Structure 1
C-alpha cells in the first residue's frame, strides 16, 4: 500500500510540474510557466531582433539585452568591487571579476582537466578540443569563436586608448594586456628555462619552443608552425599579395610589420641601445642578437654535427648544408638556392641593377660584397669609414 501511495505521489508531483509550466515550445519541447517566457524563447528560433539601439543601430532579440548594451554608450559603471575598487557596468561582470581575487576555479574540463573560474571560459576552451567555430560572420561568412571581437575587424572601431602611448584597441582586454608592456612587469615564468613573460599567452607560446610542437600546418606546402599567427602570416606568401607600400620608395611588403621595419632605413632611427657598449640598433631583435657578442653564449646546437650557434637563424641556415634542400627557384634560369636572400641577390645578375653605391667615388655595384672589396682596394684607409652602403633592395618578383 505504501509503494502504491509513493507512486501516486510521484505521478501527482510530475503532473503538478507540468501544470506549473503549461506553455510548451513545439520545436524544442521546452516548457515555460508564462506565455511571455515562451514568446521570448521563440526569438531564439526565429532569430528575430526587434529591439534596436538608437545610437549605433545594433539590434537585439530582448529588451534586457538592449538595456545592458546601452551602458556601453553611457559608460555608467554602478557596480564596484570592494577589494580593488574597480567598477563595472553589469552585476554579472562584477561577479566574474570577483573570481580573480578568490582564485576559485570550480569549472573543470573533462578532457584535459584544466580548471576555469567562469563557465563561459570553460565553454570557449572546449572548442579547442572539438575544433568547432560556432559563430558565422554575416559580413565575410567566416566562422569564428569570438564573433564580437571578429566584428570589430570590419568596423575598424578602436575605442580603448592607452593613456601612455595613445595606441588604440578594439577590446578592453587587449588594452589591459598592452598596459603590461609599459609597467615591464613579468610575472609569468617558464618552469623549463626560467625565462619570464608579461602575460600567460606569451608563456604558452614560448613553451612550444621546448616541446617543438607545431600543430598548425599549411595546406599549400605542408610547412608546420607552432602558432596560428605564424601560419596566417605564412599563408600570405602563397597569395603573392603585398598590400603595404612604402610612401618614400614605393617598395611593397606582405606584412605591416615588415613595412614598419623597412621605414627605419629612411628615418635612420635607432632607438634600441646596448647597455654594455652603447651601440644603437633600429630593431629590438638586432639588439638581442648583438648582446650575444658580449656573452659568447651558443645555445643552438646542430643535432647532426653538434656544431653550436649563437642564433637560431644561423642554425637554421646551417641545417641546409646537411639536408641539401634548395626550395627557392629562379624563374629565369631555374637555378635553385637554399635561402631566399641568395635568390634575391642572384636575381640582380639578370636585371643588371646596381643598387650598392660608393659614397666616395659614386661607382655602383651589383652586390654588397663587390662594394666592400672596392672600398678595401681602391680607397685609402683613413677615408674608408666615409663609405656607406645603400641597403635597400628593389622588389624582385619571384
Structure 2
C-alpha cells in the first residue's frame, strides 16, 4: 500500500472520493444525504459544514479576519483572500493542461477537470441528477427544498441563487453593465446582450417548421407559432376578447380603462398604444422608414406602404 493510499484511508462508498480523516469523510457524506446540521440563528440559513457556517456568520457580524498584506483589503473567507491575491500576482496557481484555463484554488481546478473527464461526482439523492460541481448540486437541491436564501435588500424578494438576486437588484438600480460594442446599447443581463448581438450578425437560430420564418429569440418563435395554430391564450376579463400575445391584451385593456400612457412632449397628444405613439412622432421628425422597392416612395407607417403596394400589383 502506498503512502498516499495510507494517508487517504477513508473512502466514500457512493462516489469513491477518499479522505485522510474520518471527520472529513463524515462532512463529505452530507453532500449525498443533503444534511445541513449547522443553522444560522439570525437568518435561518443552514450548512453541511461547520466551516461554511462560521464563514456565513461573518455576513452578519461584518468580521473580516483575512487581510491582504499588500493592499490591506480584508475578507470574511480565506478562500476569498486566495482569489484576491491573484490580482497582485497576475496568475492563478492552478492551470488546466487541456484547455489552458486557470484557477485560484485547487478545489475549483479539480471541479473544472470533471468537465473534461465527464465525471459527475455530486449526485442528488432525490431525483438522481448528477453534477460536476458541488455548487451546482447545492443550487439544484433548492429546487426540491424551495429554499431561497438570497433576499433582495431593497424589496425583500428572495432567490435560490446569489446570481439571481444580483441580477434582480438591477431592476432597482437601473444598472446595465453589458454593453454592445457596435451600437452602444446596454443591458442589465448578459443573456439580453447575447440576443441583441444577433441583430448585428444576422443570426436567427429559431426557425418555424411551417413557413421557415426565423427569429432572434425563442419566445418570438413561440408567439409566431400562434399565427399558424390560431391560439389566443390571453383573454380580456371585461369583454371576453382574446389575443395571441399578452402585450396585445395589455393594449386592449386600455380601451376599457381609457388610459393613454404614451404622451408626445412636442404637441401633448396621448396614445393608448406605444406603436401609435411611435407612428405619431414621425409627423414631427419627418422620418419615413418604409420604402417601396419598386418606385422608391417612402412612408412613415408600414400600413401606408402596404396600401401603396397595391398600385403596383394591379
Q: TM-score, normalised by structure 1?
A: 0.46
User: Do the aligned partners of residues 43 and 227 (structure 1) sit closer, same or farther apart at CA in structure 2, a change above 3 Å counting?
Assistant: same
What is the CA–CA distance in structure 2 between the aligned matches of 1:263 and 1:275, rounded to whole Å? Answer: 24
What is the CA–CA distance in structure 2 between the aligned matches of 1:309 and 1:109, rounded to whole Å? Answer: 58
CA positional deviation for 1:214 = 0.7
User: Do the aligned partners of residues 208 and 269 (structure 1) sit closer, same or farther apart at CA in structure 2, a change above 3 Å counting?
Assistant: same
**Counterpart of 1:175 in 2: which secondary structure?**
helix
For residue 34 of structure 1, what is the aligned residue in structure 2? 21
What is the CA–CA distance in structure 1 between the aligned matches of 2:215 and 2:151, rounded to whole Å? Answer: 31
C-alpha deviations, 1:165-198, integer Å up to 9, x for none? Answer: x7967542343221244xxx66765443445556
Contact in 2 for aligned 1:244/1:259 (Cα 8 Å): yes
Contact in 2 for aligned 1:79/1:94 (Cα 8 Å): no
**Counterpart of 1:294 in 2: which secondary structure?**
helix
**Is 1:176 aligned to residue 169 of structure 2?**
yes
CA positional deviation for 1:293 = 2.7
What is the CA–CA distance in structure 2 between the aligned matches of 1:42 and 1:150, rounded to whole Å? Answer: 15
User: Do the aligned partners of residues 28 and 98 (structure 1) sit closer, same or farther apart at CA in structure 2, a change above 3 Å counting?
Assistant: closer
C-alpha deviations, 1:8-40, integer Å up to 9, x for none? Answer: xxxxxx933222212234665432111233344
What is the CA–CA distance in structure 2 between the aligned matches of 1:237 and 1:96, rounded to whole Å? Answer: 56
For residue 215 of structure 1, what is the aligned residue in structure 2? 205
CA positional deviation for 1:225 = 1.6
For residue 379 of structure 1, what is the aligned residue in structure 2? none
Kindly name which structure, 1 or 2, has the bigger radius of gyration based on alpha carbons: 1
**Is 1:270 aligned to residue 260 of structure 2?**
yes
For residue 133 of structure 2, what is the aligned residue in structure 1? none
**Counterpart of 2:33 in 1: which secondary structure?**
coil
Superposed CA RMSD = 6.2
What is the CA–CA distance in structure 2 between the aligned matches of 1:288 and 1:222, rounded to whole Å? Answer: 29
What is the CA–CA distance in structure 2 between the aligned matches of 1:307 and 1:292, rounded to whole Å? Answer: 18
List alignment gaps of at least 5 residues for structure 1: 1-13, 83-87, 128-133, 325-398
What is the CA–CA distance in structure 1 between the aligned matches of 2:63 and 2:228, rounded to whole Å? Answer: 50
Contact in 2 for aligned 1:189/1:203 (Cα 8 Å): yes
CA positional deviation for 1:257 = 3.3
Match of 1:22 among 4, 9, 13: 9
What is the CA–CA distance in structure 2 between the aligned matches of 1:65 and 1:294, rounded to whole Å? Answer: 65
**Is 1:78 aligned to residue 91 of structure 2?**
no
For residue 242 of structure 2, what is the aligned residue in structure 1? 252
**Is 1:294 aligned to residue 278 of structure 2?**
no
Contact in 1 for aligned 2:223/2:245 (Cα 8 Å): yes
Structure 1 residues 137-286: aligned runs within 5 Å: 170=159, 171-181=164-174, 189-195=179-185, 200-218=190-208, 222-234=212-224, 242-286=232-276
Contact in 2 for aligned 1:180/1:198 (Cα 8 Å): no
What is the CA–CA distance in structure 2 between the aligned matches of 1:27 and 1:178, rounded to whole Å? Answer: 43
Contact in 2 for aligned 1:273/1:287 (Cα 8 Å): yes
CA positional deviation for 1:261 = 2.4
